[in-house]
Structure 1
Amino acid sequence: MTPVSEAYRRMDLHTLRQFLVVARLEHLSRAADELHVAQPSLSRTIARLESELGTSLFDRAGRLRLNDAGKLFRDHVERSLGELDAGRRAVAETAAEGYGTVRLASETFLTLTGPLAAYKLAHPSVEVELHQMPAEEMARHLRAQDIDLCVASQPVPAEGLEAVHLFDEPVWVAAPLDHPLAGRASVSIDELADEPFLTTRKGHWQRRLLDLLFTGRGLTPKIVCEGDEPAAIHALVSAGLGIGLTPDIAQRASTRSLVAWVAVDSPDCRRTLTLLWGADSRLSSAARLMRTTITGWNWVTGEPQEPRAPA
């Protein structure tokens, strides 16, 4: 038996799950807090794991960083534990005659409140887990079966995944009602060059779109606020703190005109929503029902419609 095979034989699930938390946070004290263990104990667990593998998994010069070996091992551990969890859920689902759990990830859940409410009403016994994450992390988590389904507003690497296009919509500039743009029907990117933008951090679709639009014109947006709450942009705009990019669905859902909506003169100022899942995943019945609910949703009327076949 090789040293690596012997290491795998000795490893327990508890150690591997602890490793994944440290790999995700790249910080021992924060990982220890999340795991509710003492930091010295966690440090010894990681050191023992590295000894069993015969190589370091982290670079420790300055801040703790997952190295190439650590990233490779993380991917294998995620896939292995994902398969184990999928097996447990399948057995539990069979024993409970249809009761199960569905794990859905998205950059933001504001757009999904309609289909989620409809799903929970139709299937009250199913436990729904929601995970917020940037699109750049979705493919890895789907392949590792940490999550069942993802809804993304940005391109996601398609290797090993299946997808259904949900809808495409224009994205508007939202401006305060007393802003000079408030009376305009449309505005060009060049005219927005000196405007103060309220946006999200890198990783969110609004920020990616803003950077894409400005980079295409050789410009840099003037950002006065960036955060992790996309829904807060509309409120901050109405408070007069700047302008921001807002999807068409938010305009249609608005009951009062707290902001002015201005079209952007660019064919690229749009958002495309896509539902994704692992091509090799054995989706539970709960996940399949969620997929049917989401693909069968009319995003314009906010009502169910006939589901579409996977692309």
Structure 2
Amino acid sequence: MNKLENILSKWNFKKIAVIYVIAALVAGICCVTAVGIIYGERLSFAINYSRLDNALEHNDYQELCTAVDKTALATDDVIDILVLNSDNKVTYSSKNSEFASDYLQLAKVGDEKKYLASEKYPDTVFKYVKNDEFMLSSILNKDFSQIRSDYDDDSFYDSSVSSKTIYMLSCINSEKNDDKIYVISNPTSVPGGMTAIKISAALAMFFFCVYWVLVALWLYSDAAKLKLSPLYWGLIGLLTNLAGVIVYKIYKHSITVCTSCGAAQNNENLYCSYCGSQLGEHCDNCGGKINSKDCFCCHCGHKVK
């Protein structure tokens, strides 16, 4: 028995597995709680934002206004949420911003489909973002300055670019009519948000690696007890993980294990090749190996007592 086998033989893998599961659950709960608290405001906004579509389809103006106000109050990043009719006339504004007056006609900036602007607000540019991307950006946005940089790269030819204010815009359209909702925001990074996510990701990777290595070590240790080339099975566990465990279990059930020394033996062996102990039961007449449930010896037909 080498040094590694000697160390692993003293390990209780069942206790280690229990400790691992408890530690992983505690770490997971702590990470989810921390991220939930840090991103609570953004998550609340995303939930309310996802409900605007239903409120728009219900054709209940009061319900729609309530949903719009609730969404706008969920985060300080919202500049305004506007409800527009089929003529692009603003019929409701949650924060009565400068964009809430009369009509809001938006047109593409040059050939850029993702940037929109209005003649009424020459110093403002809106970056159009699809609904799913908008929700994700609202929650996990690192820094809105990247949008500023992208716009500068796309519009370097415009000498007045540096003076423009850029907002993120999402549009929710009604399927029943031409009414729509504009959500205008200026996302900011969440203090400590990315740090919390990175720590959570690092812990998740750590526990995954520990789990992976533990499986390989268990295979190595168990194979060593059975004298089944532990290095070979340990490498299989390290490369294939659960698939290797399944193959090992199937193989283990197809062999005989000596009750005296624990070594794996061929099913045809009458005696252990390591300690010489008798394997299973033998026929009193011919000495052939028989199973515990046999009534007659399969080698000579002698009745088993």
Give the shorter-chain TM-score range: under 0.3
Q: Which has the higher contact order (CA 8 A, sep 6+)?
A: 1
Q: Which has the higher strand share?
A: 1
TM (normalized to structure 1)? 0.20
TM (normalized to structure 2)? 0.21
Pair member with larger Rg: 2
